[in-house]
Amino acid sequence: MESVPVKRARAAPVRVYSKDKPHLSLKEAIAGAVCPLDIRQRLEIVNVEYWGFDARAHKGQLVIHRDLASDVRSIFAELLQKRFPIQSIEPIVVYRWSDDESMQENNTSGFNYRNVLGTERLSNHATGCAIDVNPKINPYFRNGASMPPNATYDVGRKGAITPVIAQVFERHGWRWGGRWREKDWQHFDKTVQGERKEGEHASLP
């Protein structure tokens, strides 16, 4: 029972589901990544809030290039405001660095020291300059095959990235793989000055 008038906030705040709290330090979130030291030193862990598939706000974490951290905070705040449903946002270390496992769980993630799937080219994820969003619902298509396997893209599905959602990233200067000839619906990236670009191989320590 509430009889005392309460001050109204300008915008209705989203209540975060308190069960899940960010729990990894950067050190923990990159533990076990086989990756050059200079890349590690430019990574940051960003705590974000997101609108879950259960229609509640949750907390998640993204490992990302430090120069993109403020973009990521703004972008995910806007996605939350739009109530864009995201299933899960956990660093790939939780999936023992398996992109396959992360995709199967429809997990959204940033940094992963790996090649572009199905190629020998270093991915923009390897420098923390890319994010995959709801990957099971927004698959990557290469040579007609989807990754994860047997996935389809249907713009009407919960968590599917629409052009309106992509524009939230694009307004901050990020690219969307959904605009490419070979569709990578889940993928967003942004070039950071002086950082290795996709295709340039780094030497491992």
State the residues that interact with Zn ion by CB under 5 A: 130, 132, 187
Q: What is the distance between the alpha carbons of residues 48 and 131, in angstroms, rounded to a whole number?
A: 13
In sequence order, what are the beta bridge partners of 149? none
CB of 66 to Zn ion, least distance (A): 19
Residues 6+ apart with CB under 8 A from 47: 22, 59, 60, 61
Query: Is 51 or 185 the residue whose CB approaches Zn ion more closely?
Result: 185
Query: Is 93 or 130 the residue whose CB approaches Zn ion more closely?
Result: 130
Residue 92, classed as helix, strand or coil, is helix
| Tokens 């729990």, located at residue | 23
Query: Is 45 or 130 the residue whose CB approaches Zn ion more closely?
Result: 130
Tell me the two tokens of residue 8.
């109204």
Chain residue whose CB lies nearest Zn ion: 187
Query: Is 49 or 132 the residue whose CB approaches Zn ion more closely?
Result: 132
Q: How many C-beta atoms surround the C-beta of residue 3 within 10 A?
A: 4
